[in-house]
Homo-oligomer: A and B are copies of this chain.
Amino acid sequence: MNPASPANLTHVLTAIEAAATIAFALSGLLEAARKRLDAVGVCIVAGLAAFGGGTLRDVLLDRRPFFWVEHAGWLWVLLGLCALAMLFMRARHFAPTARAMQWPDAAGLGLFTASGTQIALHAGSPAIVAVLMGVVTAVFGGVLRDIVCNEIPRAFSDHRPYAICAFAGGWVLVGAQALGASDAVGLVCAAVVAAALRALALLTGFTLPRWSPKDD
């Protein structure tokens, strides 16, 4: 068997997707813990962070069933993750966990951007709408997490490139398909570009130029 065979590729993608979903869920869990939510709040906010973006995309595109209805086992994984965290996690684990999660989170940004954009293109959306749906898939889980925790969404306010990496990745997919690339090639390119841009931003500490509208 050749390591790049389709079956192996599918396994790799599934593993990345699982790692990314867990990274998204952990971002919600850590935020909920910081806000001193109770057990219910921790589970709900972790669930919103993990599944909120894809669910909002599906509501907007009028697609059913949702990912977490079709694969309801993931809800059990989420509950188990939250239970384990509440049993074994201590405050001193928070900062290292948040740091470690940056990388699967970047991978998830890439994957969810690519899959969200592709789903919207298949549903017949115009290019700009499809790219926006990719951004919604990758970013709005975190946005809902922050709204419920009564914060301005970090994706809109921390000046570090996040949604904009998804935006770029979405256009890569649209461009690849316009150039006649196969679906698989387009998806991989889009995911890699979005994830690589995010990883680059993390490594360099690059921030978006500020719009500080002072009087000149």
Chain A interface residues toward B at CB < 8 A: 32-33, 35-42, 44-45, 55, 59-60, 62, 64, 66, 68-69, 72, 75-76, 86, 89-94, 125-129, 132, 143, 147-153, 155-159, 162-164, 208-216
Contact = CB atoms under 8 A, between A and B. Distances in A.
Among A59, A72, A208, the most chain B Cβ lie within 10 Å of the Cβ of A72
B90 A213 contact: yes
B40 A164 contact: yes
Contacts of A62: 62, 64
Contacts of A41: 152-153, 155-157
A38 B159 contact: yes
A134 to B, nearest CB: 14
A96 to B, nearest CB: 13
A50 to B, nearest CB: 13
B91 A44 contact: no
Number of this chain's copies in the assembly equals 3
A152 B37 contact: yes
Given A44-B163, A59-B60, 10 more contacts: A39-B208, A41-B153, A55-B60, A72-B126, A72-B127, A75-B129, A90-B214, A91-B213, A91-B215, A147-B148
Contact of A164 (B36, B39, B93, B208): B39
Contacts of A32: 156
A77 to B, nearest CB: 11
Contacts of A215: 90-92
Contacts of A208: 38-40
A209 B148 CA distance: 22
Among A42, A69, A208, A214, the most chain B Cβ lie within 10 Å of the Cβ of A69
Contacts of A44: 156, 163
A149 B152 contact: yes
Nearest to A164: B40
